[in-house]
Every structure is written in C-alpha cells, then in structure tokens.
Amino acid sequence: MTSPRLSTPGPHLIVALVTPFTAYGEVDRPSLRRLIAHLQAGGVNEFFAAASTGEAPLLDEAARLAVIETVRAAAPDGVLYAGVSGTGHRHAIRNARAAAQAGADVAVVMSPFFVALDQTQLVDFSTAIADASPLPLAIYHHLRMPTPFTVPTVAKLASHPNIVALKDTNGAEHNRCAEILAATAGTPLQFFQGVEKLVLPTLAADGHGCVVAQGNIAPHLFRAVLDAWQAGDPARAAECQRQIDALWSIFLQPEVRQSFAHFLLTMKRPLQQQGVIATTAGALPGVTFSPAYEQMIDDFMARHLPSLPAVRMP
C-alpha cells in the first residue's frame, strides 16, 4: 500500500543524505539525527537514505537498516526514500522488504553494479524488483553505472503500476527531463533531477523536483529556488540557481573527480564545522586527506556557502 506521505505536493526537495560515521566505523545515530534536524530547519521533509551519497555500496545490511531506522524515527512525518540496490535483483528485493519494515516509503534501485546489461535485460531486472517490492519503486539512473536507463527503457518501466519515479543523475550538460516527460506522458512517473546545476532547468521543463547531495549543506538554498519558482518569481529562482551553480563547481576539482571520498568530504567537512556531524569519517577505512585539500574546501565554502546557524543536539 502506498503511504499517504507520498501525496506531498511538489515540487519535491529530496536530500540524498550523507551517512555520518563514528571514528570506529559505526553509523553515528546522534549525528544523523542532528543532520535531519538541520535539514528540517532548512525546509526539507523528504529524505533519500542509503543512497550513493550515503555510501550505500559500502554499507552492510545492519548499517543500511540503522540509517533507515534512524531517519524514520527522526522524521516520523517525512517522506523516506531508501536505497535498496544490491548485487542482483534478489538482493535488492530483500533490501526492499527490510526497508519497508524499517519504515521507508519508497525503495530506490540502480542498475546492477559492475555487470553491464542490454536494455531488455534492464527492463526485466527492474520489473522483477518492482513486482516483488512491498514498497513503490523509484529507478535511479547514474552516468557512472555500467548500464544506463535510456529514455525508451524509462518509458517502458513507467507503465509498471509499482514504479513511481526516476532519479536522473546524467551529468551537468544534458537535462533529459523534457525527453523523459514526453516519453512517459499519461503515466504517473515523477522526474527528479539528480544534478544540482540542473534544478531550475528541470522545473522549467515541468519536472517534479530534485534529489540533491548538496542539499545536506545548503538546504535553504534549494528550498529557495523551488519556492521562488512555485511562487512565479523566475528572477529570484534564477539568482538562487546561480548560487547553486557556484556551490556545485567544487565538484570540478580534480580530487573530487578522482575519489569518491574526496567528493564526500566537500559535504561532511562543512557539516562537521557547523556542529551537525561529529566526524568526517566515511565507510572506507584508512582514508586521509591533505591539509591543502581541506583548506581548499574551507576557503571555497567561505566564498560560496551561505552561513547557517550551528545545529547542536544531545
């Protein structure tokens, strides 16, 4: 049964949550609760837990459930999307069932890790998960995965009664929103933009919102662009998008392009300095960063991240 929370009117602002860890590599539940409070204060009530930004491929089952359960307890009225991708469709189905028990509203699945499929095989893979999932399913296209969700494949999957949305992270130069909405006309499929730089163009193309990693550090900025667009103030929306574009440009740093851990630090370090999370630790062991890279982040955020009040809770 679909949760009544899914009737939230759009445009949707969904934050792809980072996963806070202790120095010992465990999920840091108090920090995660503070993160949810920080996002709620910034106007966010929809959360994507155990996503790629949340280091989902590196989480074991216990850690994945700890994240989902903690987010649900911290945001009982929020909409909770849970990553369920695994090593195959059976693994994803098990993850979807566990996520449902932990309180998730929507299961989100990527194409298989490592293994390349043709598009017919990808349809069959996604359909098998949608058929068995106790939760509505969202599909997640990412340009780094071996198999893309092409527009015709998305159109085929949109006819499935249990597939409700697409998160599309296709790179900053190509917004597929209009193509996909045209191909899925007459279906209830919702299009969520996964690239911060393309949020406003997606709204202009009648997309349904965004799922953004940098919402962790600037929730109010993304809320502002959506609210301005909805209020019929395109000039204000464009100004907010320009600020988002400047913030997004940190992803062009060569270290970020070489290492996922360096990408994560661009969000975890500001959150730690705001008092939201206790450490910048990730799921991978033994990762360290140069003082020069950390200073680059600090300098960049001082220029481009609007100040927020510190968030501290027990």
Q: Domain span at residue 26?
A: 4-248
CATH number for position 42: 3.20.20.70
Q: Which two tokens stand for residue 311?
A: 């968030």
Q: Could you tell me the pTM of the whole model?
A: 0.95
DSSP strand pairing (209-212 vs 12-16): parallel
**Spatial separation of the C-alpha atoms in residues 280 and 270, rounded to whole Å:** 9
> For the chain, first and last CA: distance in Å?
36
Helix (H, G, I), strand (E, B) or coil at 177: helix
Per-residue pLDDT of the chain (314 residues; tens, 9 = 90+): 455 566 677 799 999 999 999 999 999 999 999 999 999 999 999 999 999 999 999 999 999 999 999 999 999 999 999 999 988 999 999 999 999 999 999 999 999 999 999 999 999 999 999 999 999 999 999 988 999 999 999 999 999 999 999 999 987 777 899 999 999 999 999 999 999 999 999 999 999 999 999 999 999 999 999 999 999 999 999 999 999 999 999 999 999 988 999 999 999 999 999 999 999 999 999 999 999 999 999 999 999 997 655 444 43
Evaluate whether residue 311 is within a structural domain. Answer: no
Q: Of 212, 217, 204, whose CA–CA distance to 270 is shortest? A: 217
- Catalytic annotation present for 167: yes
**Spatial separation of the C-alpha atoms in residues 260 and 123, rounded to whole Å:** 28
Which residue is catalytic, options 24, 81, 156, 167? 167
Evaluate whether residue 112 is within a structural domain. Answer: yes
Beta strands in the chain (DSSP E): 12-16, 46-49, 79-83, 106-110, 137-142, 163-169, 190-193, 209-212
Please give the distance of CA 304 from its chain centroid, rounded to a whole number: 21
**Spatial separation of the C-alpha atoms in residues 69 and 91, rounded to whole Å:** 19
- Catalytic annotation present for 156: no
DSSP strand pairing (163-169 vs 190-193): parallel
Q: Of 45, 68, 44, 46, whose CA–CA distance to 56 is shortest? A: 68
**Spatial separation of the C-alpha atoms in residues 190 and 165, rounded to whole Å:** 4
Q: Which two tokens stand for residue 75?
A: 């945001």
Site of tokens 């939230």: 8
Which residue is catalytic, options 81, 140, 268, 293? 140
Helix (H, G, I), strand (E, B) or coil at 105: coil
Evaluate whether residue 233 is within a structural domain. Answer: yes
Evaluate whether residue 282 is within a structural domain. Answer: no
Evaluate whether residue 179 is within a structural domain. Answer: yes
- Cβ within 8 Å of residue 24, ≥6 positions away: none
Evaluate whether residue 156 is within a structural domain. Answer: yes
Angle at alpha carbon of residue 305, lines to 67 and 23, rounded to 5°: 35
Give how many domains the chain has, as a whole number: 1
* Residue 53 near residue 17, CB atoms below 8 Å: yes
